[in-house]
Amino acid sequence: MDKIIKQYSNGEITVVWKPHLCDHSAVCIRELPKVFDTFSRPWIKMDAASSEKIKEVVDRCPTKALTWFANGESAKLENNNTEQQEVQKTTISLIKNGPIRVSGNFILINEDNEPVASEDKISLCRCGKSNRLPFCDGTHKNS
């Protein structure tokens, strides 16, 4: 199954949304509801705030489901900021009533010894109810 990836642009920057990485922590919605509005279509309104403010909020996405790049640059430069470049060691964080967040340089291997993730940030399910196991899909919020 192909993974959905959507892009939203304001002409200056492009926000990339990878819903398969989202754990629904809603950082974007809380921090910048004028831009990130799940009740509207499209749900990301790039003209509702400055590019700088959008970049600040996207950089706080805990799973990298949201990233950005400056238009005219390669998408490979998404969120090319110093903080993310300096991530060397792997950290594992337990989120209260939420997922396990893993960030850093790592490869997640499944029971068949096959790599299933090589992102530098992922959220793993702790409740066992996710439809995307081993990844969190926010289902724990419905419990």
Per-residue pLDDT of the chain (143 residues; tens, 9 = 90+): 468 899 999 999 999 999 988 989 899 999 999 999 999 999 999 999 999 999 999 999 988 899 999 988 654 444 444 444 444 588 899 999 999 999 888 888 888 888 887 778 889 999 999 998 999 998 888 86
Contacts with 73 (C-beta within 8 Å, 6 or more apart), sequence order: none
CA dihedral 4, 98, 94, 38 (to 10 degrees): 40
Whether residue 79 lies inside any domain: the answer is no
Contact 84, 120 (CB under 8 A): yes
Q: Which residues is 94 bridged to in the sheet?
A: 100
Going across the sheet that includes 91-94, the strands are 91-94, 100-103, 121-124
Domain boundary among 44, 72, 100: 72
Grouping H, G, I as helix, E, B as strand and the rest as coil, residue 67 is strand
Whether residue 28 lies inside any domain: the answer is yes
- CATH number of the domain residue 10 falls in: 3.30.70.20
Residue 5, token pair as written in the block: 């990836």
